[in-house]
Structure 1
Amino acid sequence: MSTRGMLVGAGSVAVLALLIGGCCNLSKPKKTEEEPTKPSTLSDDTNYGTTKGTHFHFNRVPIEVDIPPGWKETQNTRNWAVFKPTGGGAVMAFSPGTDCGAVEQRFYGALGELGLQNVVWSGGQKTIMVNGLSTVTAEGTAIEASQNSYVKYALTKVPGRGCLVSIVNIWKNRTGDYMAASEKMFASVSRQ
Protein backbone atom coordinates (compact mmCIF):
# COMPACT_ATOMS: atom_id res chain seq x y z
CA MET A 1 0.00 0.00 0.00
CA SER A 2 2.83 2.34 0.86
CA THR A 3 4.55 1.73 -2.50
CA ARG A 4 1.28 2.27 -4.38
CA GLY A 5 0.75 5.54 -2.50
CA MET A 6 4.25 6.69 -3.36
CA LEU A 7 3.73 5.86 -7.06
CA VAL A 8 0.41 7.72 -7.16
CA GLY A 9 2.02 10.68 -5.35
CA ALA A 10 5.03 10.71 -7.70
CA GLY A 11 2.73 10.46 -10.73
CA SER A 12 0.63 13.35 -9.44
CA VAL A 13 3.74 15.49 -8.95
CA ALA A 14 4.92 14.68 -12.50
CA VAL A 15 1.52 15.57 -14.01
CA LEU A 16 1.38 18.76 -11.93
CA ALA A 17 4.87 19.74 -13.12
CA LEU A 18 3.82 19.23 -16.75
CA LEU A 19 0.66 21.27 -16.26
CA ILE A 20 2.48 24.12 -14.52
CA GLY A 21 5.24 24.10 -17.13
CA GLY A 22 2.66 24.56 -19.90
CA CYS A 23 0.75 27.23 -18.02
CA CYS A 24 1.36 30.94 -18.05
CA ASN A 25 4.01 30.78 -20.78
CA LEU A 26 6.54 29.24 -18.38
CA SER A 27 7.51 26.78 -21.08
CA LYS A 28 9.34 27.89 -24.22
CA PRO A 29 8.08 31.40 -25.07
CA LYS A 30 5.99 31.76 -28.20
CA LYS A 31 7.48 33.81 -30.98
CA THR A 32 5.35 36.85 -31.79
CA GLU A 33 5.27 39.17 -34.74
CA GLU A 34 6.89 41.88 -32.63
CA GLU A 35 10.17 39.96 -32.14
CA PRO A 36 12.88 40.72 -34.69
CA THR A 37 13.57 37.90 -37.12
CA LYS A 38 16.55 39.64 -38.72
CA PRO A 39 19.35 41.85 -37.43
CA SER A 40 18.02 45.14 -36.07
CA THR A 41 18.26 48.35 -38.02
CA LEU A 42 17.47 51.77 -36.64
CA SER A 43 14.57 52.35 -38.99
CA ASP A 44 12.53 49.23 -38.32
CA ASP A 45 13.49 47.53 -35.04
CA THR A 46 15.22 49.93 -32.64
CA ASN A 47 12.63 52.68 -32.47
CA TYR A 48 9.04 53.20 -33.46
CA GLY A 49 9.28 56.34 -35.50
CA THR A 50 10.69 59.72 -36.28
CA THR A 51 9.65 63.31 -35.74
CA LYS A 52 9.23 65.33 -38.92
CA GLY A 53 8.34 68.91 -38.05
CA THR A 54 5.34 68.71 -35.72
CA HIS A 55 4.40 65.19 -36.87
CA PHE A 56 5.61 61.90 -35.40
CA HIS A 57 5.65 59.18 -38.10
CA PHE A 58 5.46 55.56 -36.98
CA ASN A 59 7.63 53.03 -38.83
CA ARG A 60 5.55 49.84 -38.70
CA VAL A 61 2.04 51.18 -39.13
CA PRO A 62 1.30 53.99 -41.62
CA ILE A 63 0.08 56.42 -38.95
CA GLU A 64 1.24 59.82 -37.80
CA VAL A 65 0.30 62.07 -34.89
CA ASP A 66 0.79 65.79 -34.29
CA ILE A 67 2.97 66.66 -31.30
CA PRO A 68 2.05 70.04 -29.77
CA PRO A 69 4.65 72.71 -29.02
CA GLY A 70 6.36 72.24 -25.67
CA TRP A 71 6.07 68.43 -25.66
CA LYS A 72 9.38 66.61 -26.01
CA GLU A 73 10.16 63.02 -26.97
CA THR A 74 11.58 61.28 -23.88
CA GLN A 75 11.56 57.66 -25.07
CA ASN A 76 11.61 56.01 -28.50
CA THR A 77 12.16 52.27 -28.19
CA ARG A 78 10.87 48.99 -29.63
CA ASN A 79 7.78 49.26 -27.45
CA TRP A 80 6.96 52.92 -26.91
CA ALA A 81 7.30 56.46 -28.16
CA VAL A 82 6.77 58.73 -25.13
CA PHE A 83 6.30 62.49 -25.00
CA LYS A 84 6.17 64.81 -21.98
CA PRO A 85 5.56 68.53 -21.66
CA THR A 86 8.54 70.56 -20.50
CA GLY A 87 6.56 71.67 -17.42
CA GLY A 88 5.96 68.08 -16.23
CA GLY A 89 2.71 66.69 -14.84
CA ALA A 90 1.66 64.70 -17.92
CA VAL A 91 2.78 61.94 -20.27
CA MET A 92 1.56 60.77 -23.69
CA ALA A 93 2.66 57.33 -24.89
CA PHE A 94 2.16 55.57 -28.23
CA SER A 95 2.72 51.96 -29.24
CA PRO A 96 2.03 50.75 -32.80
CA GLY A 97 2.21 47.28 -34.29
CA THR A 98 0.90 45.05 -37.04
CA ASP A 99 -0.53 42.61 -34.44
CA CYS A 100 -3.41 44.41 -32.72
CA GLY A 101 -3.53 41.80 -29.94
CA ALA A 102 0.12 42.44 -29.05
CA VAL A 103 -0.50 46.20 -29.10
CA GLU A 104 -3.44 45.77 -26.72
CA GLN A 105 -1.33 43.66 -24.34
CA ARG A 106 1.34 46.37 -24.26
CA PHE A 107 -1.38 48.84 -23.26
CA TYR A 108 -2.39 46.75 -20.23
CA GLY A 109 1.26 46.44 -19.21
CA ALA A 110 1.79 50.18 -19.64
CA LEU A 111 -0.77 51.04 -16.99
CA GLY A 112 1.48 49.40 -14.40
CA GLU A 113 4.69 50.75 -15.94
CA LEU A 114 3.30 54.28 -15.70
CA GLY A 115 2.68 53.65 -12.00
CA LEU A 116 -1.08 54.05 -12.35
CA GLN A 117 -3.14 52.59 -9.53
CA ASN A 118 -6.87 52.40 -8.90
CA VAL A 119 -7.71 53.05 -12.56
CA VAL A 120 -11.45 53.64 -12.92
CA TRP A 121 -12.81 53.93 -16.46
CA SER A 122 -15.94 56.10 -16.48
CA GLY A 123 -18.68 55.66 -19.03
CA GLY A 124 -17.21 52.57 -20.68
CA GLN A 125 -15.57 52.28 -24.09
CA LYS A 126 -16.77 54.22 -27.11
CA THR A 127 -16.03 53.51 -30.76
CA ILE A 128 -15.51 56.68 -32.76
CA MET A 129 -14.00 57.60 -36.12
CA VAL A 130 -10.80 59.68 -36.06
CA ASN A 131 -9.77 60.92 -39.50
CA GLY A 132 -11.54 57.94 -41.09
CA LEU A 133 -9.99 55.35 -38.72
CA SER A 134 -12.02 53.25 -36.28
CA THR A 135 -10.90 54.07 -32.73
CA VAL A 136 -11.95 52.54 -29.41
CA THR A 137 -11.50 55.01 -26.58
CA ALA A 138 -12.18 55.37 -22.86
CA GLU A 139 -11.27 57.83 -20.16
CA GLY A 140 -11.23 57.84 -16.41
CA THR A 141 -9.20 58.50 -13.30
CA ALA A 142 -6.23 56.93 -11.57
CA ILE A 143 -3.68 57.58 -8.86
CA GLU A 144 -0.07 58.11 -9.91
CA ALA A 145 2.69 59.12 -7.46
CA SER A 146 0.00 59.97 -4.86
CA GLN A 147 -1.59 62.38 -7.35
CA ASN A 148 -5.09 62.07 -8.76
CA SER A 149 -4.80 61.71 -12.53
CA TYR A 150 -6.92 61.93 -15.63
CA VAL A 151 -6.32 58.92 -17.92
CA LYS A 152 -7.44 58.33 -21.50
CA TYR A 153 -6.56 55.71 -24.08
CA ALA A 154 -7.39 55.14 -27.72
CA LEU A 155 -6.86 52.03 -29.83
CA THR A 156 -6.83 53.09 -33.48
CA LYS A 157 -7.07 50.45 -36.22
CA VAL A 158 -5.65 50.80 -39.72
CA PRO A 159 -7.45 48.09 -41.75
CA GLY A 160 -5.03 45.41 -42.89
CA ARG A 161 -2.02 47.31 -41.54
CA GLY A 162 -2.19 47.22 -37.72
CA CYS A 163 -3.05 49.31 -34.69
CA LEU A 164 -1.84 52.18 -32.55
CA VAL A 165 -2.55 52.51 -28.85
CA SER A 166 -2.31 56.02 -27.39
CA ILE A 167 -2.36 56.73 -23.65
CA VAL A 168 -2.38 60.04 -21.82
CA ASN A 169 -1.95 60.54 -18.09
CA ILE A 170 -2.37 64.07 -16.69
CA TRP A 171 -2.19 64.99 -13.02
CA LYS A 172 -5.56 66.48 -12.02
CA ASN A 173 -3.94 69.75 -10.92
CA ARG A 174 -2.47 70.13 -14.46
CA THR A 175 -5.52 69.24 -16.60
CA GLY A 176 -6.06 72.92 -17.39
CA ASP A 177 -2.55 73.07 -18.81
CA TYR A 178 -2.55 69.88 -20.88
CA MET A 179 -6.10 68.66 -21.56
CA ALA A 180 -6.52 70.64 -24.79
CA ALA A 181 -3.07 69.58 -26.08
CA SER A 182 -3.74 65.91 -25.38
CA GLU A 183 -7.15 66.06 -27.08
CA LYS A 184 -5.49 67.58 -30.15
CA MET A 185 -2.99 64.71 -30.21
CA PHE A 186 -5.80 62.12 -30.04
CA ALA A 187 -7.72 63.94 -32.80
CA SER A 188 -4.62 64.24 -35.02
CA VAL A 189 -3.98 60.50 -35.44
CA SER A 190 -4.18 59.89 -39.18
CA ARG A 191 -2.75 57.86 -42.05
CA GLN A 192 0.67 58.90 -43.36
Structure 2
Amino acid sequence: MSSICELAEKDLDVNYNDVKINLFQAFNFLVWANKELVAPRANTLVNLAMEMIKNEEINETTKFDPAVLWASLIELYELSPSMEELEAVINVLPGCAHDYQLKYSAHFASFLMQKYPNAIQSEPIVRFATTIIGSDALFEYIDPNDIVLLAQAINSADPELVKTIANNNESQLQYIKEHMEIIANFQQ
Protein backbone atom coordinates (compact mmCIF):
# COMPACT_ATOMS: atom_id res chain seq x y z
CA MET A 1 0.00 0.00 0.00
CA SER A 2 2.63 2.54 1.03
CA SER A 3 4.72 1.83 -2.10
CA ILE A 4 1.70 2.50 -4.33
CA CYS A 5 1.07 5.78 -2.49
CA GLU A 6 4.73 6.73 -2.85
CA LEU A 7 4.54 6.07 -6.58
CA ALA A 8 1.38 8.16 -6.77
CA GLU A 9 3.11 11.04 -4.97
CA LYS A 10 6.07 10.87 -7.35
CA ASP A 11 3.89 10.61 -10.43
CA LEU A 12 1.53 13.50 -9.69
CA ASP A 13 3.60 15.64 -12.08
CA VAL A 14 4.36 12.91 -14.61
CA ASN A 15 2.54 13.07 -17.93
CA TYR A 16 2.68 9.37 -18.70
CA ASN A 17 -0.98 8.49 -18.81
CA ASP A 18 -0.40 4.73 -18.71
CA VAL A 19 1.59 5.09 -15.49
CA LYS A 20 -1.28 6.95 -13.84
CA ILE A 21 -3.86 4.53 -15.19
CA ASN A 22 -1.90 1.57 -13.80
CA LEU A 23 -1.50 3.32 -10.46
CA PHE A 24 -5.17 3.98 -10.33
CA GLN A 25 -6.09 0.42 -11.21
CA ALA A 26 -3.93 -0.69 -8.28
CA PHE A 27 -5.53 1.96 -6.08
CA ASN A 28 -9.02 0.80 -6.97
CA PHE A 29 -8.13 -2.78 -6.17
CA LEU A 30 -6.92 -1.66 -2.73
CA VAL A 31 -10.01 0.45 -2.09
CA TRP A 32 -12.29 -2.48 -2.70
CA ALA A 33 -10.01 -4.94 -0.90
CA ASN A 34 -9.49 -2.91 2.27
CA LYS A 35 -10.88 0.61 2.60
CA GLU A 36 -9.48 1.07 6.11
CA LEU A 37 -5.97 0.30 4.87
CA VAL A 38 -6.26 2.90 2.11
CA ALA A 39 -7.86 5.61 4.25
CA PRO A 40 -4.70 7.01 5.95
CA ARG A 41 -3.15 7.74 2.55
CA ALA A 42 -6.38 8.44 0.70
CA ASN A 43 -5.61 12.12 0.25
CA THR A 44 -2.65 11.37 -2.03
CA LEU A 45 -4.73 9.10 -4.19
CA VAL A 46 -7.73 11.42 -4.24
CA ASN A 47 -5.41 14.23 -5.36
CA LEU A 48 -4.16 12.01 -8.17
CA ALA A 49 -7.74 11.25 -9.19
CA MET A 50 -8.72 14.90 -9.16
CA GLU A 51 -5.72 15.89 -11.27
CA MET A 52 -6.53 13.18 -13.80
CA ILE A 53 -10.14 14.35 -14.00
CA LYS A 54 -9.21 18.01 -14.34
CA ASN A 55 -6.69 17.24 -17.08
CA GLU A 56 -9.23 15.00 -18.82
CA GLU A 57 -6.81 12.09 -18.62
CA ILE A 58 -9.69 9.84 -17.64
CA ASN A 59 -11.98 9.90 -20.62
CA GLU A 60 -13.64 7.75 -23.26
CA THR A 61 -10.32 7.09 -25.01
CA THR A 62 -8.40 5.74 -22.02
CA LYS A 63 -8.34 2.19 -20.79
CA PHE A 64 -9.68 3.35 -17.44
CA ASP A 65 -13.41 3.23 -16.76
CA PRO A 66 -14.66 6.49 -15.17
CA ALA A 67 -17.32 4.48 -13.34
CA VAL A 68 -14.62 2.69 -11.37
CA LEU A 69 -13.02 6.00 -10.38
CA TRP A 70 -16.25 7.54 -9.10
CA ALA A 71 -17.26 4.33 -7.31
CA SER A 72 -13.90 4.22 -5.53
CA LEU A 73 -14.15 7.88 -4.53
CA ILE A 74 -17.55 7.16 -3.01
CA GLU A 75 -16.04 4.27 -1.09
CA LEU A 76 -13.27 6.51 0.24
CA TYR A 77 -15.59 9.35 1.13
CA GLU A 78 -17.72 7.00 3.20
CA LEU A 79 -14.73 7.03 5.54
CA SER A 80 -15.49 10.71 6.28
CA PRO A 81 -12.75 12.82 4.71
CA SER A 82 -11.73 16.22 5.94
CA MET A 83 -13.75 19.20 4.72
CA GLU A 84 -10.68 20.36 2.76
CA GLU A 85 -10.67 17.10 0.79
CA LEU A 86 -14.42 17.31 0.30
CA GLU A 87 -14.19 20.87 -1.01
CA ALA A 88 -11.40 19.86 -3.38
CA VAL A 89 -13.61 17.19 -4.94
CA ILE A 90 -16.66 19.45 -5.09
CA ASN A 91 -14.60 22.14 -6.82
CA VAL A 92 -13.66 19.68 -9.57
CA LEU A 93 -17.25 18.64 -10.31
CA PRO A 94 -18.16 21.55 -12.63
CA GLY A 95 -15.43 20.35 -14.99
CA CYS A 96 -16.92 16.85 -15.10
CA ALA A 97 -19.95 17.59 -17.25
CA HIS A 98 -18.74 15.75 -20.36
CA ASP A 99 -21.12 13.11 -21.70
CA TYR A 100 -18.84 10.23 -20.74
CA GLN A 101 -18.59 11.49 -17.14
CA LEU A 102 -22.14 12.76 -16.57
CA LYS A 103 -23.67 9.58 -15.21
CA TYR A 104 -20.92 8.97 -12.70
CA SER A 105 -20.18 12.55 -11.69
CA ALA A 106 -23.91 13.25 -11.21
CA HIS A 107 -24.20 10.18 -9.02
CA PHE A 108 -21.16 11.26 -7.02
CA ALA A 109 -22.58 14.77 -6.62
CA SER A 110 -25.88 13.37 -5.35
CA PHE A 111 -23.98 11.06 -2.98
CA LEU A 112 -22.08 14.05 -1.56
CA MET A 113 -25.29 16.03 -1.14
CA GLN A 114 -26.92 13.19 0.80
CA LYS A 115 -23.90 12.53 3.00
CA TYR A 116 -23.00 16.19 3.54
CA PRO A 117 -26.23 18.25 3.50
CA ASN A 118 -24.27 21.48 3.95
CA ALA A 119 -22.65 20.83 0.56
CA ILE A 120 -25.96 21.09 -1.27
CA GLN A 121 -25.83 24.88 -1.58
CA SER A 122 -22.13 25.16 -2.36
CA GLU A 123 -21.43 27.23 -5.48
CA PRO A 124 -19.63 24.43 -7.41
CA ILE A 125 -22.46 21.94 -6.74
CA VAL A 126 -25.06 24.45 -7.93
CA ARG A 127 -22.93 25.30 -10.99
CA PHE A 128 -22.49 21.59 -11.79
CA ALA A 129 -26.20 20.89 -11.28
CA THR A 130 -27.16 23.89 -13.42
CA THR A 131 -24.98 22.63 -16.28
CA ILE A 132 -26.48 19.17 -16.07
CA ILE A 133 -30.14 20.18 -15.73
CA GLY A 134 -29.75 22.37 -18.81
CA SER A 135 -27.99 19.62 -20.78
CA ASP A 136 -29.51 17.76 -23.71
CA ALA A 137 -27.87 14.63 -22.30
CA LEU A 138 -29.97 14.83 -19.12
CA PHE A 139 -32.28 11.92 -19.89
CA GLU A 140 -29.77 9.79 -21.74
CA TYR A 141 -27.03 9.55 -19.14
CA ILE A 142 -28.28 10.37 -15.67
CA ASP A 143 -30.23 8.33 -13.11
CA PRO A 144 -33.64 10.00 -12.44
CA ASN A 145 -32.97 10.00 -8.68
CA ASP A 146 -29.73 11.89 -9.26
CA ILE A 147 -31.55 14.40 -11.49
CA VAL A 148 -34.02 15.07 -8.68
CA LEU A 149 -31.26 15.59 -6.11
CA LEU A 150 -29.43 17.95 -8.45
CA ALA A 151 -32.66 19.85 -9.09
CA GLN A 152 -33.17 20.07 -5.33
CA ALA A 153 -29.65 21.51 -4.97
CA ILE A 154 -30.48 24.24 -7.47
CA ASN A 155 -33.90 24.78 -5.91
CA SER A 156 -32.44 25.25 -2.43
CA ALA A 157 -30.03 27.86 -3.78
CA ASP A 158 -32.58 29.67 -5.97
CA PRO A 159 -36.19 28.40 -6.23
CA GLU A 160 -36.69 30.07 -9.61
CA LEU A 161 -33.51 28.71 -11.17
CA VAL A 162 -34.83 25.23 -12.05
CA LYS A 163 -37.71 26.85 -13.95
CA THR A 164 -35.36 29.24 -15.72
CA ILE A 165 -33.00 26.45 -16.79
CA ALA A 166 -35.76 24.15 -18.00
CA ASN A 167 -37.85 26.97 -19.46
CA ASN A 168 -36.75 26.17 -23.01
CA ASN A 169 -37.67 22.54 -22.59
CA GLU A 170 -41.09 21.98 -21.06
CA SER A 171 -40.72 18.19 -21.05
CA GLN A 172 -37.52 18.55 -19.01
CA LEU A 173 -39.26 20.66 -16.37
CA GLN A 174 -42.23 18.28 -16.26
CA TYR A 175 -39.91 15.29 -15.89
CA ILE A 176 -38.15 16.89 -12.91
CA LYS A 177 -41.46 17.83 -11.26
CA GLU A 178 -42.89 14.33 -11.68
CA HIS A 179 -39.85 12.63 -10.20
CA MET A 180 -39.70 15.07 -7.29
CA GLU A 181 -43.33 14.17 -6.51
CA ILE A 182 -42.65 10.44 -6.81
CA ILE A 183 -39.73 10.62 -4.36
CA ALA A 184 -41.67 12.88 -1.97
CA ASN A 185 -44.59 10.43 -1.95
CA PHE A 186 -42.25 7.49 -1.45
CA GLN A 187 -40.58 9.15 1.54
CA GLN A 188 -43.88 9.86 3.35
Q: Which TM-score band applies after superposition, normalised by the shorter structure?
A: under 0.3
Instruction: Tell me which of the two structures has the higher relative contact order, counting C-alpha pairs closer than 8 angstroms and 6 or more residues apart.
Output: 1
The structure that has the greater radius of gyration is: 1
Structure with bigger helix share is: 2
Structure with bigger strand share is: 1
